[in-house]
Amino acid sequence: MIAIILGTRPEIIKMSPIIRVCEAQGVDYFILHTGLYYSHEMDRAFFEELDLPEPKYNLDVGSGTHADQTGRIMVGIEKVLMEEKPEIVLVQGDTNTVLAGALAAAKHHIKVGHVEAGLRSFDRTMPEEINRVVADHLAAHLFAPTETARQNLLAEGVEDYRICVTGNTIVDAVFQNLELSKKKATILKDLDLKPGEYFLVTSHRQENVASPETLRSIITGLEAIHQEYSLPIIFPMHPRTRKMVEQFTIPLDGIPVIEPVGFLDFLQLESSARLVLTDSGGVQEETCILGVPCVTFRESTERPETIEVGSNVLAGIRAGEILAAVRQMLSRPRTWKNPYGDGMAGRLIITMCSGKAGGLPVTVGNGIPLQNDYSMIR
């Protein structure tokens, strides 16, 4: 039996291909959702949007300090693991759910599989970096998305036999969910947007939004972009960011803010944007896959492949540098190659965990077949 443990919307997105393979192949598995940031009802809607089965367990942990949140997650996960006794626990990424899930499983001598293993920003001031490192060194199976990630693990003394380069499940998720979004999403029509004629922005990282100086600098950069290009800047604002904008009384001149949108709507916004500005690691990957230029409000990234292929640039947080980065990315041809695999990572991961995936067909909700060619993207 496989336990799939997740806690945030990015984890649901990146685990969705693995869940679909389990469903298609009749693998014995269950989903445990820790419920880090959203209510049970909101998350239920998210699972419904992606045509995924509801979790068997939902801990509804909510937010809190790192120690408090991690401790409560561990207590909840331990109870489930003692009852279900799975052979392997799968966790994805770098959240407190990943840390708690890996610790709880390892202490009960249950094998841990870390999806998206080996990512490194080499910045230990980031809580996510600590979570990644600890999970990797507890895991029995490390599913590295790229050769770069594999080399990071080897450099830390992880044995090669524990590592498998699978590609990144975000490629699978983009392939599969882009098809769903074409059928379900109406966001471009709703916002009266034309493809290629707007910029898309996301920002949620604590180091960017918790500092008034940093947040003001980013907003000033966005205003400069709007003035230079005279294109709409669409900003689905994270609740944490909105709270800080209001607390610091930062004006948003010429930057329309909308409520956070579901993944299918966001995928449509992302795939049709002229350029995306973000501090999200997942968005850096998604834009690279979709062929959309990306500018990142950070000094470092655990997605160096996006920099290497030319789909992304690190702009830092100064307004002038953000504008310069936008100019740079818009002058580049969109000819980079996707470094994250062929969209079959989920199948490979489940094959390695259960031996069941084989070559049988996998379908997305409503029987949409999983295809693996880039004609779906643009």
Instruction: Give the model confidence (pLDDT) of 322-367 as tens digits.
Output: 999 999 999 999 999 999 999 999 999 999 998 665 544 444 444 4
Q: Which tokens is 61 given?
A: 């942990």
| 336/270 Cα distance (integer angstroms) | 17
From the list 280, 265, 208, 213, the residue with the least C-alpha distance to 234 is: 265
Residue with tokens 């067909």: 361
pLDDT digit string, tens, across residues 94-113: 999 999 999 999 999 999 99
| 267/314 Cα distance (integer angstroms) | 22
Look at residue 373 in the predicted model and tell me its pLDDT: 39
Has 40 been annotated as catalytic? Answer: no
Look at residue 242 in the predicted model and tell me its pLDDT: 87
The answer to whether the CB of 273 falls within 8 A of the CB of 291 is no
**DSSP code string of 272-299:** H-SEEEES-HHHHHHHHHHT--EEESSS
pLDDT digit string, tens, across residues 220-241: 999 999 999 999 999 998 888 8
Length of the chain: 378
Q: Which of 61-75, 148-162, 299-313, 329-343 has the lowest mean pLDDT?
A: 61-75
Please state, for a pLDDT cut of 70, what percent of the chain lies above it. 92
Look at residue 149 in the predicted model and tell me its pLDDT: 97
Cα-Cα-Cα-Cα torsion 28, 356, 118, 51, nearest 10 degrees, comes to -60
Number of alpha carbons in the 13 Å side-chain half-sphere of residue 28 = 7
Q: Cite the DSSP H helix spans in the chain.
A: 9-25, 40-49, 66-84, 96-107, 127-138, 147-155, 169-184, 187-190, 206-209, 212-229, 239-247, 263-272, 281-290, 304-309, 319-330, 345-354
Look at residue 142 in the predicted model and tell me its pLDDT: 97
> Can you name the residues that pair with 58 across neighbouring β-strands?
33
Q: Which tokens is 316 given?
A: 């830092």
**Domains (ranges, CATH) in the chain?**
2-168+341-376 (3.40.50.2000), 179-330 (3.40.50.2000)
Look at residue 42 in the predicted model and tell me its pLDDT: 60
pLDDT digit string, tens, across residues 113-160: 999 999 999 999 889 999 999 999 999 999 999 999 999 999 999 999
Buried b (16+ CB within 10 A) or exposed e, 185-219: bebbeeeebeeeebbbbbbebeebbeeeebbbbbb
Catalytic residue among 40, 108, 137, 204: 204
Residue 377's alpha-carbon distances to 93, 114, 166, 288, in angstroms, are 24, 27, 21, 11
This prediction's pTM: 0.86
The answer to whether the CB of 215 falls within 8 A of the CB of 255 is no
